[in-house]
Structure 1
Amino acid sequence: MKGTVRYLAGIAGQSGYGSKSTADQVTQDYSSSLHPNLTAIVTVMCLGATSGIGAETARVLAKRGVRVVIPARDLRKAAQVKKNIQKEHPEAEIIVLEIDLTSFASIRKFCTEFLSLDIPLNILINNAGKFSQKLEFSEDKFEMTFATNYLGHFLLTELLLEKMIETARQTGVQGRIVNVSSVIHTWVKKDNFSFNRMLQPKHYNATQAYAQSKLANIMHTKELAKQMKAIDANVTINAVHPGIVKTGIIRDHKGIITGMLNQHINIVKTVASFYSLFFIASKLLKTTSQGASTTCYVALSSKTEGVTGRYFADCNESRCSMLANDDSEAHKLWKQTRALVYKRLRVQLRP
């Protein structure tokens, strides 16, 4: 009950921000203090040229003087995102490159193209997400939601990590990786978290597949944070829950939206009338800028300097599930994923 009240009221947490804070608000003090020539990669789905957390994240980072690289499957819509940002901020440097996060070959090609630009890489925001209503498979023959949300971002991160470590070493500026996850990861039970079944499920449940992919994002975060500490790399990685956001993609997430709303609504059913529930439900939905705030906060805030392997919601550190905190399961997932990638691409990944 207490958490729901804080969420509805937008009460600030330890960071000074809460559920109602916008991406502009949480970064407004950083334009003058940020290191010059920062470069960020923000993956976007480009479902709409002016909507989406990824587009808003790119806009706000560009507004704060960060060079932004937008990898996207739909270059036309990504170009519109670039146009919209530069219309508001003519000096913004935006680079659009093609990528299909469901394709290992496309991800490898993107990384080759990006690295050929010979620019630094300070921030990597693995934001793009997919919710496949029916069972579909990627060109690599993996379930589409898992392939996009987890496998694609895993490979992208692996292929760019050395560049991030090198940039941090040369500039002295800490590299930051942000994995956009979801509170829905808490719905996954250990018995349902099987790597092979997630790759090629026999019985498909769209919401479960989405939840599993988001749990995998957090496990990736936890494991990679440990690895970066072990080699004393100046790179942090954290996971964030953006909240339930009012974007076009909400139509594809009806099962998730209903369930997440019910988690809050059930708490207040005993004290609220039927009509009040609809009012509360509407208040639980965030604007796009509110949804992008936690990502931008973790990516830019001086308060998150040195913080790694954590999970954030509403711009504050939050608790994730016991399974998400299981180090052995996270390491097992990383080993399985790495072996799969090597088998398919025959590329030499990090030791």
Structure 2
Amino acid sequence: MQTQLPTIALAMGDPAGVSPELTAKLLANDEVRAAARFVVFGDRRILDDGARIAGVTPDIAVVAPGASYDATAKPVLIDLAHLAPQDVKRGEATPEGGAFALENFRQALLMANEGRADAVCFTPFNKKAMRYVYPGYDDEIRFAADVTGFKGAAREFNVLDNLWNCRVTSHIPLSEVAAALSVEGILAELELAERCMRESGIEKPRIAVAGLNPHAGDGGNFGQEEIDIIEPAVKLAILKGFNASGPYPADTVYVRARNGEFDGVLTMYHDQGQIAMKLMGFDRGVTMMGGFPFPICTPAHGTAYDIAGRGIANLGASKAAVLLAARMAARNLAAKNK
């Protein structure tokens, strides 16, 4: 029996950066097109400009909003016709660019939330531009929850090849991290991480848990969080059947993970793992938003305003994001069809 290809709703990102050319490169890539069916939200003029910059000619169908289409033959662009190229200020965050990206993302999320797409992907956004038109825009998770009405727990994961980076706290001040840690919170993040990693194809994820303090507290010399909170959470996770271990010093755990000892690392705060992951593979890293009823993936890098329009944007991370979303969506489809 032929495997059913998932449908991915792809939102064009910030038009002033490398998003238009990356979107065009994705749609022209044979491996990407073979992995899923694509419905793209954006503006044909912006995509055409991106294709010109990238030097590609993607074979797509273009339809107006509300028109019928068939995404099985070739990718489909829903042309929202909401931004002219002459209104794009390349390399600059603007309200026009933010409105463009926000509407594309909104439409992609609604499509998946209504069950008409199996995953959502987007090329890089610029948060400053999006806050111009959506002042409450904290991050993509908050916006996705606002649009879809999702009330559950969701979290950002960073994925580099087959290595996952997970975190207990995310976009909060460093001064608030210790107070935000709890046994229950760490255990919940381990559970979510394991579920998402399983959906990606890792059958029994080996998850290392990082300590908060230098040398994982050094037996209490540099803090009590490892003894009072992190280690009890790991022990509970093991009792629940998770393949978890730690806490480990954060400055060495990624060396072990990179060498294949672990499938993922759960860190206590944002930069604790982000720095290591981006240093190991900035051009290949993926940000995956887990916990929603469908995967949401994007390249881990930003809009790269400094190289926009030069045709040199690296496709690696965007391609990896789409392929991860396709793989997770395909497994979810297979599970539903059993």
Q: TM-score, normalised by structure 2?
A: 0.36
Task: Looking at secondary structure, tell me which structure has more strand per residue.
Answer: 2
